[in-house]
Amino acid sequence: MSDRISSSDAAAPVAAYSQAVTAGDLVFVSGQIPLNPESGELIAASIEAATRQSLHNVEHILHAAKLSLDHVVKASVFLINTEDYAGMDSTYREIMPEPFPAREAVFVAGLPKGARVEISVIAHQNR
């Protein structure tokens, strides 16, 4: 059995999914694109700004579960442009605490609403 987690401080889902669900001691945060939760606008000025907004959305959802980025054990990053990798990685390094969680970065043909980046995470409540 899983519980749904949501935060009004993060961007609302753009399709049929929960912002996050729990399963045992794990919290699965759905992919977060860089939508500003207040305006609903896509942040696309730079990959750094987009990455920052995506991670802030993740962080707000984790806070709704009484967790932080320190609890993340796995991150998945989806990018539409290989040239955005370095900018995403530098911003990710600024925001994610060490030791960094396991991570993959996957290049895809497109993301919802034309986003440049989408980030999902798995957090462990006892980390």
Match 């990710």 to its residue by tokens.
92
Identify whether 37 is preceded by a cis peptide bond (ω within 30 of 0).
no
What is the structure's pLDDT at 127?
Answer: 76
CB 5 within 8 A of CB 59: no
- Which structural domain range is residue 76 located in? 4-124
- List the CATH number of the domain containing 113: 3.30.1330.40
Give the count of domains, the chain: 1
- Residue-wise pLDDT for 48-80, tens only, equals 999 999 999 999 999 999 999 999 999 999 999
Is the pLDDT reported for residue 41 higher than 70?
Answer: yes
pTM of the model: 0.96
